[in-house]
Structure 1
């Protein structure tokens, strides 16, 4: 995306005005209009299972909105982009993903700090659904949904990948904000549409997994992507092998052949690069960083960091 202007979520709310309540305490509309920025309109529905947001932006510059939301650990986020491009960046995980026209994904990231990058003309929907509600919908016996459910309860970051918005999804999205129903009937209707969208989204992801016969190379590239997200977790060969349906010998040998490095050397390098970022850009203390990247002893971390970069982490200002 081209250069963008940066706003915090607090800045954005200060620039916004509630323009319609519609005699419904669970429904709000907001409009931000600022000469040097443009217009950003949102429609918000609150429900006992979460919050649904429809947004449209017509702005002069791409926006980077900085969020710090403690409730991220309690919710899974489902996003549908109908027009334009929206990107998410999680500094803690060194992870970024983007949605373009008519794409969707779900993402669970138990990390309050993230950036939302929005381009000039965007229209989309964002569902913030309670994690426990969503997890209880998932079947333990299905490999794909069972793994997702386990990740949610373990508070591990998970991302569905980007998929295409189909006609049924578009109809359900339109129905949510156009229903004439009120009160309890409206609540029932909205929950039904949310369940429909979740089913369509999971059904699409599961069908893709089951219909695609992947080569070994595809599997190991998926493992690498998994490690790129989960490198700060307490990882083991047994756990990784079980996640991807491999035995430990094939996992070790195949990864080394594919990428010319061992799994744990690759994880170690990701952790050191992330540690360097936290020290230089986030100005964090050495003992904080050592804990984040999996070291119980800061001295052991300092030794490993110096071996990787040639300088002591304490010398970084």
Structure 2
């Protein structure tokens, strides 16, 4: 666990003391939460500690050009995802500093870490998943691509899996969203989190193994991210590429190419995914009709919704609804 209340000294933010809230559930999962506020910045950080990994996520506002220092007192593998903002990370005075832009991810190995993070944006949001090393090693592929990383782990040398970061895909975003907004409790949450975390790790390792194209300029990427964030909150509204281009100051070619390169899907493919996952969650968690779900996610025709849902998940909405509400 990272310490959580912060003290600022000479433009540095240092984690110290204990969390505001700490609790343990019926299956031993530990939850830690802290919020903090200062004259110039504020934020929050949460951790969920399971048997072989822990999930940490949080946000910091108004901390541009500040340095954060905190310690991990154990050997670990860290999966890092930057959802908002940008920052530079240097672990244990490593030979090189890893700079993260918005929507990037990487995998770290470190023994005991003294992290120095330079915040280079006004708002930063980060997700970290830390594995016990022996547990992680069971799932590190034997492919040649990972040989150097495996060697550095054996030699207890801090490093990232790759020197450059990769783009977070649409599928990764959906999994991360499910992790951050999981409503399950106790053993059901434990099972769900294990499944989601392993799926996220699988996508990361697969991407590192295959490599990814870096053909989108950073300035363009920031516009693409803003488009994605707008869609996250407005995906039920009528949408055209022309409207999005005017709103975010880009052109149709750059938007189509940049969005597909960054998220692995077209703009309208991303919108469709958002609608279908929202619909599935509504069917699984609420006792509402298929017609109501169709209307909520922006479909005027319930039959069109049912066709799209079956194409996405291989079952009709009615079957999903009856299956998830069947008594065990």
Short-chain TM bin: 0.5 to 0.7
Indicate the SS of the match to 1:189. Answer: helix
Q: CA deviation at 1:59?
A: 2.0
The aligned residue for residue 33 of structure 1 is: 37
Alignment partner, residue 9 of structure 1? 15
CA RMSD of aligned residues (A): 2.6
In structure 1, how many angstroms separate the alpha carbons of the residues matched to 2:71 and 2:179? 28
Deviations 1:175-201 (A, max 9, x none): 112222222221111111111111101
Partners of 2:91 and 2:158 within 8 A in 1: no
Which residue does 2:114 correspond to in 1?
113
> 2:171 maps to what in 1?
168
Q: Matches of residues 1-317 of structure 1 in structure 2 within 5 Å? A: 5-10=11-16, 13=17, 17-18=20-21, 26-34=30-38, 36-71=39-74, 74-90=75-91, 92-118=93-119, 119-140=121-142, 142-159=143-160, 160=162, 161-208=164-211
Compute the displacement of 1:134 (Å). 1.0
- After TM superposition, where is structure 1 displaced by more than 4 Å over at least 4 residues in a row? 20-25
Measured in 2, the distance between the counterparts of 1:26 and 1:69 equals: 17
Post-superposition shift, 1:156?
2.4
How far apart, CA to CA, are the structure 1 residues paired with 2:147 and 2:63?
44
Q: CA deviation at 1:21?
A: 5.4
Task: Structure 2: give runs of 5+ residues left out of the alignment.
Answer: 1-9, 215-328
Return the structure number with greater helix share: 1
Contact 1:53–1:127 (CA under 8 A) maintained in structure 2: yes
SS of residue matched to 1:77: strand
Query: Contact (CA 8 Å) 1:80, 1:125: kept in 2 or not?
Result: yes
Q: Given that residues 24 and 30 in structure 2 are in contact (C-alpha distance below 8 angstroms), is that contact kept between their aligned partners in structure 1?
A: no
2:211 aligned counterpart, secondary structure: helix
Distance 1:60 1:208 in 2: 33
Matched residues in 2 for 1:154 and 1:22: separation? Answer: 35
Q: Gaps spanning 5+ residues in structure 1: where?
A: 213-317
The TM-score, its normalising length taken from structure 1, stands at 0.57
Q: How far is the alpha carbon of 1:208 from its aligned partner?
A: 1.1
SS in structure 2 of the partner of residue 152 of structure 1: helix
Task: Identify if the C-alpha distance between structure 1 residues 42 and 113 changes in structure 2 by more than 3 Å, giving closer, same or farther.
Answer: closer
Distance 1:186 1:200 in 2: 21
In 1, are the aligned partners of 2:78 and 2:129 still within 8 Å (CA)? Answer: yes
TM-score with structure 2 setting the length: 0.55
Does structure 1 conserve the Cα–Cα contact (< 8 Å) formed by 2:87 and 2:118? yes
